[in-house]
Amino acid sequence: MKNARYFIWSLLAIVALGSCDDLNPDEIPENASAEVRLNALVEKLDSEVPTWEKLYELAEHVERGEPAQYATQWVQFWGDAPDDLKANIDIWNHYMSDGDATVSAANSYKIGLEYGAVPNGADYPIYNLDVLDKKLRFIGTILLHEKAKGRRTLFQHHYPDGAVDLGFPNEGEFKEYIKEIFGVEKAKEATMAENMQVEYYLPFPEPIESYIERQGFTNAWPKEKKVELAQFVLDEIRDRLGNIFTGILVAPSHAEYESSSDIWHKLDFSEYDEIHFSLVPKCESGVSPEGYLEDQFANITEVLAKHPNMRWGVSQLALYQPVMSGCESGDFAAYQQGVLNDIFEQLNELEKTYPSHVFSGVFADFLQGGNTTDVKAYWDKK
């Protein structure tokens, strides 16, 4: 919000872009501006996904924004996103203009299923490289469309539910998969993100701890061995991407483990540019959201103590009623607001010791009433 030069550039880009909602994509002349042509490409994404050559040409007209002093994003839960791409674009515009966000909410947008970018029932990761290529061109078009408006962008390739545990019987086959399949997918994603000048790239479909915990063959493992496997994955992917993506490479961590005595905090994230934590308070098994948050902040503190100079943030804060309800004593919206303000207070305390607090992402779908005002007020103070 204090990066004046970036936002002056953003304003100029928006003015230059104008409104092309009424343009017929088939009537756009080849000598039209890059902004107009890009709008036309998005208009017909349901029937035609641009070539890399066309995207590379248009990408020459955008630039990567400088790292924000404090980046803010309304996160769109893709499972609840409208089926219509234009409706989603309207939502993202609303998040940016009325929601005071500085990072676009556009990400994988329902993984492109409605537009044929990925066939129904496709495997994840996408083993068919032609299908993966088409999906990345689809997503690249959307991200480039957002960047043409002067917006910072974030890319994380989410997988559908149930697509994380692929049924590997042992550690050896899983490691081979990470090197030969998963790593190839990430390298291609990183290449797209680099060429589209994306600012933030998260190369894992979910926080690294849960990604390992979900692999069935690790169920009987001691925690020490799970941490070692997670570190292998972190290091393998970082080494693979180090010479490809030059933006901000983010390691996602949920810090969602039972107590601060857990050993997940031994993970080394120092080869990444930022750590982004998730906070999804729950009411379950006799633990209140407040109790959940007490443990999670203790865990986050231990992680940051090992990485005191790293940039960090909470990029997925979800006050989700289905998992929080049952612990409130009265109106849920008022209870939710109290939990939200408590989280902000704890973040303020934490950044007194670890001041490189640079990112805040809040699930817009999971807030109600005046809570959006509280979020914007908190962001404005940064």
Torsion of the alpha carbons at 27, 32, 35 and 41, rounded to the nearest 10? 30
Global pTM? 0.87
Task: Using alpha carbons only, give the angle 204, 248, 229 rounded to the nearest 5 degrees.
Answer: 35
Q: Classify residue 152: in a domain, yes or no.
A: yes
Amino acid 191: pLDDT = 97
| Residue at which a domain ends, from 201, 220, 253 | 253
Q: Classify residue 55: in a domain, yes or no.
A: yes
Do 85 and 32 share a structural domain? yes
Q: What is the DSSP string of 268-291?
A: --TTSSEEEEEE----BTTB-HHH
Q: Classify residue 269: in a domain, yes or no.
A: no
Do 152 and 94 share a structural domain? yes
Q: Classify residue 343: in a domain, yes or no.
A: yes
- Tens of pLDDT along the chain (382 residues) come to 434 333 333 333 333 333 444 445 556 666 777 677 778 888 888 778 899 999 998 899 889 999 889 999 998 876 667 777 888 888 889 889 888 899 999 875 554 444 445 555 555 666 678 888 988 998 899 999 999 888 999 999 877 666 667 788 999 999 999 999 999 999 999 999 999 999 999 999 889 998 998 899 999 999 899 999 999 999 999 999 989 999 999 999 987 665 445 788 899 999 999 999 999 888 887 788 898 888 889 889 999 999 999 999 999 898 888 888 888 888 888 898 899 999 999 999 999 999 999 999 998 877 765 678 889 999 998 8
Please check whether residue 43 is in contact with residue 141, taking contact to mean a CB–CB distance below 8 angstroms. Answer: no
Q: Classify residue 45: in a domain, yes or no.
A: yes
Do 292 and 167 share a structural domain? no
Do 290 and 243 share a structural domain? no
Rounded Cα distance between 123 and 160, Å, is 10
Do 180 and 46 share a structural domain? yes
Instruction: Tell me which DSSP letter residue 111 carries.
Output: G
Do 248 and 320 share a structural domain? no
| Residue at which a domain ends, from 238, 253, 268 | 253
Rounded Cα distance between 165 and 244, Å, is 27
Q: What does the chain come to in residues?
A: 382
H helices of the chain, in order, are: 4-17, 34-43, 52-59, 85-97, 129-147, 171-177, 183-195, 208-213, 223-241, 289-306, 321-324, 332-353, 371-380
Domain of residue 303: give its range: 276-382
Q: Classify residue 267: in a domain, yes or no.
A: no
Rounded Cα distance between 364 and 372, Å, is 8
Q: CB count, 10 Å around CB of 136?
A: 26
Number of folded domains that form the chain: 2
Amino acid 17: pLDDT = 37
Do 341 and 245 share a structural domain? no
Do 167 and 284 share a structural domain? no
Rounded Cα distance between 266 and 346, Å, is 22
Do 223 and 303 share a structural domain? no
Do 159 and 42 share a structural domain? yes
Please check whether residue 265 is in contact with residue 306, taking contact to mean a CB–CB distance below 8 angstroms. Answer: yes
| Residue at which a domain ends, from 197, 220, 253 | 253
Question: 299: helix, coil or strand?
Answer: helix
Cis ω before 50 (30° cut-off from 0): no
Please check whether residue 151 is in contact with residue 104, taking contact to mean a CB–CB distance below 8 angstroms. Answer: yes
Do 184 and 49 share a structural domain? yes
Q: Classify residue 264: in a domain, yes or no.
A: no
Do 341 and 194 share a structural domain? no
Q: Classify residue 149: in a domain, yes or no.
A: yes
Strands 248-253 and 154-156, bridge-based pairing: unpaired
